A and B are shown apart, each in its own frame.
Chain A
Amino acid sequence: MEEISRAEEMVLLAIWRLKEKAYGVSIRRQVRKNTGKDYTYGTLYGLLRQMTHKGYIEKSLGDPIPKKGGRSRAYFSLTPLGIQALKDAASLHKRLWKDINEFSFDES
């Protein structure tokens, strides 16, 4: 399977952590909290669309927000394909870092 990019990985993880509460604002906050990266909504929605198209996440509409003419907010959740992609990314990390102690770099 195609490997996901680092940005995709971060967004997917944020959605996973947020469970049912993953929508634009919360995803952006979560990413910032975890990584310190401040994505713009342009980038965020671009990634979300791209990953929807690839089938990692899906969009569902929640209850209409309480507001005049309020529409339903779009929530995002991981598909099994998305979960698999995250698992692959994690195991790749593990394999890459196997035998390497974080402090080994300092000694050399």
Chain B
Amino acid sequence: MKSEIEKEPLPPRLPERIVQKLAWAEDQWSIREDLREEYRYILSIKGERSANLWYWKHMFLSLFPFIKFSIYWRIVMFKNYIITAFRNIRKHGGYAFINIAGLAVGMACCILIMLFVFDEMSYDKFHENHDRIYRVTRKWFNEDGVVNLHLGHVAPPVAPLLENDFPEIEHAVRLFRQGRLLVGGDSEFFEEPRFFFAEEDVFEVFSFPLLAGDPETALQEPFAIVISRNMAAKYFGDKNPIGNMLQIQVGPKKADMMVTGVMENMPHNSHFHADFFGSFKTFEAVVGDEELQSWSSNNYATYLLMPENYDIVRLKSQLDPFIDRHMSEGMSEKTKLELQALTDIHLHSHLDSEIEANSDITYVYVFSVIAIFILLIACVNFMNLATARSAGRAKEVGMRKVVGAQRTQLIRQFLSESMLTAVVSLLLAVGLVFLVLPKFSQFIGKELSFNLMENSQLLLLLLLLAVIVGFLAGLYPAFFLSGFKPVRVLGNKVGSQKKGLSFRGALVVFQFSISIVLIICMSVVTRQLDYMRTRNLGFDEEQVAVLSSSEPMLQNWDDFKSRMLQNTGIISVAAASRVPSGRLLDSAGARVLSGETSQPITFRIAMLMVDYDYIPTFKIELSAGRNFSRQMGTDPEQAFILNEMAVRKIGWESPEQAIGKGFGYGRRKGQIIGVVKDFHFESLHQEISPLVMFLSESSLSQVAVRISPQNIPKTMGFLKKTWTEMRPNYPFSYYFVDENFDQQYRSEEKLQQIFSFFTLLAVFIGCLGLFGLASYSAEKRTKEIGIRKVLGASSSGLALLLSKEFTKWVLMANVIAWPVAYWVMSRWLQNFAYRTGINIGTFFLAGGIALLIALLTVSHQALKASLADPVKALKYE
């Protein structure tokens, strides 16, 4: 009998295996046996070939129904999981709330940061040719090879010469930003800061769509102008602007421009924003040939459009010879041209001149990391609470197992549960984002859009986020819970499982490490910001208003000044080429003269053209010598005042030693008559640079007015009246030096605010989890606490007992967080030439805060548990 059975012919192996794999576990065996039976039957009447054929055919035909039914069952089971999940949420509303709220807030942060990061990355990508546009920049070197200046603008001959020398360049286009230009419509004049003169192929290089006019010819003629949609509305209202005239006025010069095109307003994610493009030929006609041939007027933003698939290194390598060829042999050791990809400008370019202030890739990184951290904290909450609650779910798991659930099914169940939570959280998060987006946009200073309908990529990403979060957060609980042995859990043996507890401990430590790092970062950023704001700049920056000068003012400067000083609110008035809180971007060659010999200075000394009252007006201190004096007839031509940095770098031992030394700067020759103490002309990002001041009558474009602190509005009213008289047509505008300094720290200030905000959130989410965990752990130990109480333990002793564990975790978190925070912050501080140290107190403070918060969170539960009636506690369960 036995041997007979073994001889039984079997169907081919492969299809049988496939069928087995596909069949529902419970029916596998029946299906196999049925198929074998039928196979043998066909074999016996039609032979092996047709039997095999039949088996294969049957397998293929079965594929579809198998898959169809398996999907059907998945859905049936999934419904069951969802129902269970909802029942759970209803039954344990508190936990569910903590879970969902934590996840939702975490996701909302994540989405906001994601929107911000996407926006930052999108800069200049709207140009059709964005990947083949390059900006030409120019560097200058000290003799020792150190870069002393790197401008995002180059000299006017560069573009045409490049185009001529390198035929592969498709287009080279120059933009010249004309500051303080007046534009007039029919009657009124406005100061338009976003006015550029642009070469005619600007629309070939950049994708600025024209709503009216022909992009190819719009800027061909002199006195043609293209304006943005906003400006069309501003100057022409509903009228068609094409063919109409606009008058522009630069200083005393006026020109009538004909509107030849209207372009769409520039999107915010462009590294520069123009409202007007005047044709470059207009500009050429006005400034003349001398300016356009000058290699020292580095004011032209220059962009190149390269052919597709062009290896930019080829052009880069030819730029040094280019300089040598067109300037003079060997010049490329002193100055070089560089090329910068258009899409790198916004995040990677921090040159000494940019059209608009750029952002920084570091912020993108920092925020991405914060987003991930916050999400992790929220996930950890979920894991923590889910495992902590395992005891409550253990019976369900036991029952499911007893009636035949397999482990994979249970894992699937818990994963679907956490995904459901994640999806619900995502919906809430999306709602939250819509709620706070306007505030957030306002805060970061640009309009972010959150349009899920239009941005399917974003939608997909969000769903992916939910799935990932649900998966991450559910993974550990799923494996943990599904591993329960039914006999043990149904026998009520699930108690304090040591392993689960230590894992939860690790999660709490991790959460708090992140919170502590964020707290430390926040306080270091705050300290640095305070430091920058309160540091003594070396002069008196308060109550100095800065206004623009005008021709008539400067022509009768002394008269004008004495008239100003008659007003009691005005203490002193000075004119200069630049004022503190700006940059020091001008320089010329300097040399030390002694007798007939002339010793060139190899480093850059920045120049500042001033009048007699500049030093007293800003209360800059002299360390040796004297200020410029009207009594000295030679001062206007020959006097120089240096700062101590310049003196030190030249190699003179003391400021006194410098006095009377012969000095040459540019075309000037003379003596050093004074040395001022170092003061912060530029923001604290920059080191104090060597500086030379001399008198000049031209180039004094700025007027600094020190006003008395009394009755400022009246004084400003007087200034307004005077200025409007002296500069008709121009709107009255001014700024205060101290405020302008603060402006320069705005990005740090924002960083600080964002840090504070997200730190608070991270701590909040962490606390939510801790709260849940503490209440759970107190609940678990109800009986223990009851017994301890009966045996005479005090309430405070019990509270301490319950908090001990959490304290330990937070302390451990400090150990991890401190080195991380130290490393991150010392790197960040290196961005500043002048910085505070990292105070060890900060670390203790952050640790203390974290501990305090943790204890406050936990103590509520601990107290509740320890104050409870022991009789009730002992009856528990």
Looking at B6, B19, B63, B66, the one whose CB has the most chain A CB atoms below 10 A away is B66
Question: Are A40 and B62 in contact, with the CB atoms below 8 A?
Answer: yes
Question: Are B31 and A41 in contact, with the CB atoms below 8 A?
Answer: yes
Bound-state CA distance A63–B72 (Å) is: 31
Nearest CB of chain A from residue B409's CB, rounded to whole Å: 15
- Chief secondary structure at chain A's binding surface: helix
Question: Are A25 and B38 in contact, with the CB atoms below 8 A?
Answer: yes
Chain B residues near A43 (CB-CB < 8 A) = 62, 65
Q: A23 contacts the other chain (Cβ, under 8 Å)?
A: yes
A49 is contacted by which of B22, B27, B35 (Cβ under 8 Å)? Answer: B27
Q: A95 contacts the other chain (Cβ, under 8 Å)?
A: no
The answer to whether A65 and B76 touch (CB under 8 A), given A42-B61, A42-B62, A46-B69, is no
Nearest CB of chain B from residue A104's CB, rounded to whole Å: 37
The answer to whether A73 and B62 touch (CB under 8 A), given A25-B38, A42-B69, is no
Question: Are B29 and A68 in contact, with the CB atoms below 8 A?
Answer: no
Chain B residues near A65 (CB-CB < 8 A) = 33
The answer to whether A41 and B5 touch (CB under 8 A), given A49-B24, A49-B27, A74-B30, is no
Chain A residues near B24 (CB-CB < 8 A) = 45, 49
Bound-state CA distance A45–B22 (Å) is: 12
Nearest CB of chain A from residue B412's CB, rounded to whole Å: 18
- Chief secondary structure at chain B's binding surface: helix
Question: Are B30 and A24 in contact, with the CB atoms below 8 A?
Answer: yes
The answer to whether A45 and B31 touch (CB under 8 A), given A53-B76, A68-B2, A68-B5, is yes
Q: B37 contacts the other chain (Cβ, under 8 Å)?
A: yes
Nearest CB of chain A from residue B405's CB, rounded to whole Å: 15
Chain A residues near B823 (CB-CB < 8 A) = none
Q: A50 contacts the other chain (Cβ, under 8 Å)?
A: yes
Bound-state CA distance A49–B1 (Å) is: 35
The A1-52 residues at the B interface (CB cut-off 8 A) are 23-25, 28, 40-43, 45-46, 48-50
How many residues of A sit at the interface, in one of the four size bands? 20 to 34
Nearest CB of chain B from residue A67's CB, rounded to whole Å: 6
Chain A residues near B311 (CB-CB < 8 A) = none
The A67-106 residues at the B interface (CB cut-off 8 A) are 67-68, 71, 73-74
Taken residue by residue from 243 to 282, chain B's Cβ proximity to chain A (1 for < 8 Å, 0 otherwise) reads as 0000000000000000000000000000000000000000
Taken residue by residue from 494 to 506, chain B's Cβ proximity to chain A (1 for < 8 Å, 0 otherwise) reads as 0000000000000
A25 is contacted by which of B1, B5, B34 (Cβ under 8 Å)? Answer: B34
Question: Are B68 and A46 in contact, with the CB atoms below 8 A?
Answer: yes
Chain B residues near A71 (CB-CB < 8 A) = 29
Chain B residues near A49 (CB-CB < 8 A) = 24, 27, 69, 73
Question: Are B37 and A46 in contact, with the CB atoms below 8 A?
Answer: no
The answer to whether A42 and B64 touch (CB under 8 A), given A49-B24, A53-B76, A68-B2, is yes
Bound-state CA distance A49–B77 (Å) is: 14
The B59-90 residues at the A interface (CB cut-off 8 A) are 61-66, 68-69, 72-73, 76
Chain B residues near A25 (CB-CB < 8 A) = 34, 37-38
Nearest CB of chain A from residue B6's CB, rounded to whole Å: 8
The answer to whether A50 and B69 touch (CB under 8 A), given A23-B34, A71-B29, is yes
Chain B residues near A73 (CB-CB < 8 A) = 30, 33
Bound-state CA distance A30–B19 (Å) is: 22
Q: B23 contacts the other chain (Cβ, under 8 Å)?
A: yes
Bound-state CA distance A88–B30 (Å) is: 30
Q: B808 contacts the other chain (Cβ, under 8 Å)?
A: no
The B763-784 residues at the A interface (CB cut-off 8 A) are none
Bound-state CA distance A25–B38 (Å) is: 7
Q: B325 contacts the other chain (Cβ, under 8 Å)?
A: no
Question: Are B33 and A41 in contact, with the CB atoms below 8 A?
Answer: no
Looking at A25, A46, A73, A74, the one whose CB has the most chain B CB atoms below 10 A away is A46
Chain B residues near A48 (CB-CB < 8 A) = 27
Question: Are B58 and A40 in contact, with the CB atoms below 8 A?
Answer: yes
Chain B residues near A53 (CB-CB < 8 A) = 76
Chain A residues near B33 (CB-CB < 8 A) = 24, 65, 73
The answer to whether A41 and B73 touch (CB under 8 A), given A24-B34, A25-B37, A46-B68, is no
The answer to whether A42 and B22 touch (CB under 8 A), given A49-B69, A68-B5, A73-B33, is yes
Chain A residues near B5 (CB-CB < 8 A) = 66-68
Nearest CB of chain A from residue B30's CB, rounded to whole Å: 5
Chain A residues near B27 (CB-CB < 8 A) = 45, 48-49, 74
Bound-state CA distance A50–B563 (Å) is: 100
Chain B residues near A50 (CB-CB < 8 A) = 69, 72
Question: Are B58 and A41 in contact, with the CB atoms below 8 A?
Answer: yes
Bound-state CA distance A14–B612 (Å) is: 114
Chain A residues near B23 (CB-CB < 8 A) = 42, 45
The answer to whether A41 and B29 touch (CB under 8 A), given A49-B24, A68-B5, is no
Bound-state CA distance A71–B33 (Å) is: 10
Nearest CB of chain A from residue B875's CB, rounded to whole Å: 42
Nearest CB of chain B from residue A62's CB, rounded to whole Å: 11
Bound-state CA distance A98–B616 (Å) is: 115
Closest A residue to B37 using CB positions: A25
Closest A residue to B34 using CB positions: A24
Nearest CB of chain B from residue A75's CB, rounded to whole Å: 10
Bound-state CA distance A48–B35 (Å) is: 16
Question: Are A41 and B76 in contact, with the CB atoms below 8 A?
Answer: no
Nearest CB of chain B from residue A8's CB, rounded to whole Å: 13
Question: Are A40 and B65 in contact, with the CB atoms below 8 A?
Answer: yes
Bound-state CA distance A48–B69 (Å) is: 11
Nearest CB of chain A from residue B39's CB, rounded to whole Å: 10
Closest B residue to A74 using CB positions: B30
Closest B residue to A42 using CB positions: B62
Closest A residue to B31 using CB positions: A41
Closest B residue to A48 using CB positions: B27
Bound-state CA distance A40–B63 (Å) is: 9
Question: Are B63 and A42 in contact, with the CB atoms below 8 A?
Answer: yes
Closest A residue to B8 using CB positions: A67
Question: Are B65 and A46 in contact, with the CB atoms below 8 A?
Answer: yes
Question: Are B61 and A40 in contact, with the CB atoms below 8 A?
Answer: yes
The B435-483 residues at the A interface (CB cut-off 8 A) are none
The B153-195 residues at the A interface (CB cut-off 8 A) are none
Taken residue by residue from 653 to 678, chain B's Cβ proximity to chain A (1 for < 8 Å, 0 otherwise) reads as 00000000000000000000000000
Closest B residue to A46 using CB positions: B69
Nearest CB of chain B from residue A24's CB, rounded to whole Å: 3
Bound-state CA distance A5–B1 (Å) is: 45
B31 is contacted by which of A24, A66, A67 (Cβ under 8 Å)? Answer: A24
Closest B residue to A38 using CB positions: B61
Nearest CB of chain B from residue A51's CB, rounded to whole Å: 12
The B1-25 residues at the A interface (CB cut-off 8 A) are 1-2, 5-6, 19, 22-24
Question: Are A42 and B66 in contact, with the CB atoms below 8 A?
Answer: yes
Bound-state CA distance A46–B31 (Å) is: 11
Question: Are B66 and A46 in contact, with the CB atoms below 8 A?
Answer: yes
Bound-state CA distance A61–B29 (Å) is: 12
Chain A residues near B1 (CB-CB < 8 A) = 66
Nearest CB of chain A from residue B24's CB, rounded to whole Å: 6
Nearest CB of chain A from residue B317's CB, rounded to whole Å: 67
Closest A residue to B2 using CB positions: A68
Bound-state CA distance A97–B27 (Å) is: 38
Chain A residues near B66 (CB-CB < 8 A) = 42, 46
Closest B residue to A26 using CB positions: B34
Nearest CB of chain A from residue B527's CB, rounded to whole Å: 67
Bound-state CA distance A24–B69 (Å) is: 17
Bound-state CA distance A41–B32 (Å) is: 10
Nearest CB of chain B from residue A83's CB, rounded to whole Å: 23
Chain B residues near A46 (CB-CB < 8 A) = 65-66, 68-69, 72
Nearest CB of chain A from residue B557's CB, rounded to whole Å: 98
Chain B residues near A45 (CB-CB < 8 A) = 23-24, 27, 30-31, 69
Q: List 5 A-B contacts (CB under 8 A).
A: A24-B33, A42-B19, A42-B69, A46-B68, A68-B2
- Further pairs besides A40-B62, A42-B22, A43-B65: 18, Cβ < 8 Å: A23-B34, A24-B30, A28-B34, A40-B58, A41-B35, A41-B58, A42-B63, A43-B62, A45-B30, A46-B69, A46-B72, A49-B27, A53-B76, A66-B5, A67-B5, A68-B5, A68-B6, A74-B30
Q: Which 5 A-B pairs have the closest CB atoms?
A: A42-B62, A46-B69, A24-B34, A42-B65, A43-B65
